[in-house]
Chains A and B, each alone.
Chain A
Amino acid sequence: MTPSPDAATLDLREALSKAGELLDKIRQGAVTVAPDGQILFANPAFAQLLGQRPENLLHTPLESWIVAEDQARARALLSPAAGQPALEISLLPDAGQRLSVRVSVVSTSREFTTLLFTGTHAEDAEAALDAIRGGKVDALVIDGREVVLLETAITPYRELMDHLRHGVLTVAGDGTVTYANARFCALVEVPRRELVGTRVLELVPEADRGKLAALRASRPNAHADVRLRDGRGRIVPVQVSEFVHRGLHMLVFTDLSDRQRHLASEELSRKFLGLLATEFQEMLGTIDESVHELERAEHDAPARRAALESISQSTRLMGALVEDLRRINPPD
C-alpha cells in the first residue's frame, strides 16, 4: 500500500525526531539533509560548531556553512555514487574563523542523508592529552592567544632564577604567581608552595595595589617602589620591575630595606668624616698658630717651649685619630 503524502511526512518527521533524540546524546555534530542539500535536522553539537542554535540551521543549504573551496567535495559526498566514506573539510561559522572537521556519511536513503561531523579540534585535544601524558610537549596554547610553558620547558630558567640575588616571581598574564625564586621566598618568609597560585597583588598592602597594577599596565621595564607584606605581617620595602621575555612575565624585586640600611650606614660615615674634618681643622689651626708664635718669639725660650709643646700635642692627637681611622677601615 502506498502511503499518503501526509503519512509519509509524518513518518519522516517521526524518524527525524527519533534520530534527533539519539544524535543529541552523542558528542559529534550530526546533520540530516534532503537530497537538495537543505538541512532537515541539526543536533546541538553541530549547531555549536557553527555558533548557532539548531533551529537557525533548519532549511538552510548545508553548503552555505562550508567554505567555498570545499563545497564541491562535500556535494560529492552526498551523491549516491560517492565512494568516499569520509573527508576533511572546513566549516565557516558566523564568527568567520574556519573550522576544520571530519565529515562522514552515517546513513543514506532516497529521502535524506545523515552526516556526522567531528571537529578536528576535539581530536587535537585528545592527541594533545596523549602527548602531555607521554611527555612529548612542553607548552600549551590557551584560548588561541597565550602560550604557557610546562614545567619541563622552564626548569633551566628556574635554576638560573634561584641563583639571583634579587627576588623574582614569574606570573601569568592575570598576575597569578607560577614560580617564586628562593630569594623571594626568603624576602617574604613564605614557602614557595604557598606563593604559587596566589595573585601577586595579594602580596602587597592594599594601599600599594594601585601602584603595582599601574606598573604592570605600563611600558615594559618600568619600576616602582612598593611594599610587600611578609609571612609575619611585617612590611618590606622593595623596588619592583616587570620584564616580559618571550611570553614569560617576570617581576624582579630589589629589597630596599637592604638599601636603606646601606644608606643609613653611609649617612653615619658621612657625619663621622664631617666631625673628623672639624677636629683636624682645629688641630691644624693650633699647629699653625704655634708656628706663628715660634716665628715671632725667636729669643723667648718659654714661649718657644709652649708653642713646641702645643705642636707636639696636636700631632699626637692627630696621630691617634689617624690610627683609629686605620683600625676602623683597615687597608686591603
Chain B
Amino acid sequence: MNAKHPAVQIEAEVWRLRLYVAGQSPKSLTAIRNLRKVCEEHLAGRYELEVIDLLTNPRLAKDHQIVAIPTLVRDLPNPIRKIIGDLSDADRTLVGLDLVAKSVGSS
C-alpha cells in the first residue's frame, strides 16, 4: 500500500471505470498502462474498465463532459470522480479515486 497515504477501506463492490482515450496517442497508451497497474494492485477482481476511443466517436465525450484526453472517470462507487491526464502520478491517481485518503496538509 502507499507509504504516504493511509489506505481506505474499500467496500466489496464493483468499481466502474471509464478511460477516455484518443486512439493510440502516447499519453492514451501511458494512461491505459498506468490504470491497469493501479487496478491490479488495488482493485483486483473488483473493477470494470471500459476504454472509450474518442477519435472513433467524439460525441461520447458529452456523456462525462470530457475536455482533455486522456481522462479517467470513476462512475461507481458514487460520487463520480474524474482525473485528467496520463495517470503517471500514481499517488495523485490513488487519492483522486479515493483509494487512499488525502494526507493531512496535502492540497
Taking Cβ atoms with an 8 Å cutoff, the residues of A that contact B are: 87-88, 97, 100, 120-121, 124-125, 127-128, 130-132, 134, 136-141, 144-147, 149, 152-153, 246-247
Contacts and interface: CB of A to CB of B under 8 A. Distances in A.
B54 interface: yes
A100 B23 contact: no
Interface stretch (B6-14, B43-51, B55-63): B55-63
A300 B71 CA distance: 104
A136 B27 contact: yes
Given A127-B84, A131-B85, A146-B58, A139 B67 contact: no
B54 A147 contact: yes
Contact of B28 (A97, A138, A144, A146): A138
B68 A247 contact: no
Interface string B65-94: 111111100000001101011101000000
A37 B84 CA distance: 35
B88 to A, nearest CB: 6
Interface size class of B (residues with CB under 8 A): 20 to 34
Interface of B: 22-23, 25-28, 54-56, 58-59, 61-62, 65-71, 79-80, 82, 84-86, 88
A97 B58 contact: no
A125 B25 contact: no
B84 A124 contact: yes
A168 to B, nearest CB: 19
A149 B59 CA distance: 16
Contacts of B62: 97, 144-145
B82 A149 contact: no
A246 B24 CA distance: 10
A302 to B, nearest CB: 89
A149 B65 contact: no
B85 A139 contact: no
Chain A to chain B: the 6 pairs with minimum beta-carbon distance, closest first = A136-B85, A139-B22, A153-B25, A139-B69, A128-B68, A131-B85
